[in-house]
Structure 1
Amino acid sequence: PLLHELAALLQKSGIPAKVTHDIRLDSWEKYALMAANSALFCLFDGPAGKVRRQKNYRQVVAETVGEVIAMAKVQGVIIPPAYKEDYLRLFDSLPDDTVTSLYRDLKDGKKVEDTETEIILGRMVDLGKKAGLSVPCFEKAYEMAQSIGKRNWGSHGMKHT
């Protein structure tokens, strides 16, 4: 009851607030969206429009989000079966120039270690190793992020000596 009261107070003040009944599920669904998008933009080295122009993009999109869904299950969180189709529809509807902050930071020349690469992509790779679960899309995306970061670091005047 206290959480609902707090949420109502925040909403009344103009601050979006929602009480969840399963924070682990909500967190994994949010991570699935953010991580899969970041992985896809790194895998294809471009925004949503470039990803969608690739012949096999829907298969790769499904595999990428599927890796997060499988990892959530290993962690004891069951993401509803409809999530994958919902995610595919959402990805199909993104504006062509959509990118994540991770991809934008890499393209803008930030050092890899100054981006979310480890938190978003590296986390999935590490979780996969620890769980014995194959996450090839995330492994490749993590490698691509490193490559994109190295290629662009300093190209925008951000390199420090």
Structure 2
Amino acid sequence: MRTLIVGAGAIGGFFGSRLIAAGRDVTFLARENRAESLRRDGLRIAGRLPAGGPDAVETFSGIRAISVGDHDSFDLVLLAVKSYALHGVIDDIAPFIGPETTILPLLNGLKHIDTLAERYGQEAVVGGLCVASSQLLGDGTVRLLLPGTSMTYGELDGSVGERIRAVDETLRVPNRDGAEYTAKLSEHILADMWVKWVFLASGGAVTTLMGGPVGRVAATPTGPETARAIVEECAAVAAASGYPLSERVVDAAIERVTEQGSRFTTSMYRDLEEGRPIEVESVIGDLVDRGSALGVPTPLLGACYARLCVYANALP
């Protein structure tokens, strides 16, 4: 499949490199300066690479990179942007979407599914999620911070037909370079997305609302019970939405945000600390809205949402 990756940052750049290494037909859609840099200097991936250790750098040359205003046709469009950037790119990708194009978003939360379906039709969109700890450095290098990267995708109705099998064949590539990348076709992608959302939202809410890593929260008199209550609010919204989480999953989410001595933080907390934009609406706000619509009380999530909105509204 001819694949367009929208966004050549920490997520799009890394997953794109895995596909390029396997000989897949990949093009990046990026801002003009990033696209020019990719064409000129190639795509550089650092960390967790073959012999050479964690500081090794692999460079992929001959990168195809285009910008807004170009026109071409693609079989698969992989959206790898932050959720707050979706409204900025949803029209930009129109010239690349044909009647047979599949759109696979790797955004957090679920709100983007409806947004994309409204613009391009429900039939064009499949579900997806990814797990990757990576960052885009100032020189354009993508650094993989932790092992265990993965991408999961599937039809929203759980069917397994010719289209999603073609997507799977494209994304499931040999893992021969030590990057520990896996791709998985799921028959219950919406449930999978809810699980990730609960983990993401609960961790983000605990660390941003209480202002520190999990271990510091857990060391306070009421920190553990507050963290547990945040997880329970998230899980209650999921259950009321038709996607109840198993007891094992809920317990794992609680353990993650109540562990004594843990240095665990979240990308949302780090973005907050460093003055960067945050995914407040897709990760926290949408959960609060869904809870309200379903009659599920979310007082702690609501407090977190208010705190993050104050922060976001003050950004330049």
Q: Same fold (TM over 0.5)?
A: yes
TM-score (norm 2): 0.42
RMSD of Structure 2 on Structure 1 (CA): 2.9
Going from structure 1 to structure 2, the CA distance change for 1:93 and 1:20 (only over 3 Å counts) comes to: farther
TM-score (norm 1): 0.77
**Looking at both structures, which has the greater relative contact order when contacts are Cα pairs under 8 Å and sequence separation is at least 6?**
1
Matched letter for residue 130 of structure 1: A
Tell me the equivalent position of 1:69: 235
Tell me the equivalent position of 1:115: 278
Does the CA-based 8 Å contact 1:117-1:145 persist in structure 2?
Answer: yes
2:251 to 85, 94, 98: 85
Matched letter for residue 190 of structure 2: R
Name the structure where helix makes up a greater proportion of residues: 1
CA distance in 2, matches of 1:19, 1:143: 37
Going from structure 1 to structure 2, the CA distance change for 1:11 and 1:35 (only over 3 Å counts) comes to: farther
Q: How far apart are 1:107 and its partner, in Å?
A: 1.5
Tell me the equivalent position of 2:85: none
Q: Identity of counterpart residues, as a percentage? A: 23
Going from structure 1 to structure 2, the CA distance change for 1:11 and 1:23 (only over 3 Å counts) comes to: farther
Matched letter for residue 6 of structure 1: E
Greater C-alpha radius of gyration: 2
SS at match of 1:26: helix
Moved more, 121-130 or 83-92: 83-92
Report how many residues are paired: 150
2:212 to 3, 23, 46: 46
Q: How far apart are 1:67 and its partner, in Å?
A: 1.1
1:106 to 272, 276, 284: 272
Q: Which runs of 5+ in 1 are unaligned?
A: 154-158
Residue deviations 1:42-73 (CA, integer Å, cap 9, x gap): 22111222211111222112211111111111
Matched letter for residue 29 of structure 1: V
Moved over 6 A (4+): none
The answer to whether structure 1 residue 131 and structure 2 residue 294 are counterparts is yes
Q: Which runs of 5+ in 2 are unaligned?
A: 1-159
Does the CA-based 8 Å contact 1:41-1:48 persist in structure 2?
Answer: yes
1:56 to 222, 233, 237: 222
Q: How far apart are 1:27 and its partner, in Å?
A: 0.6
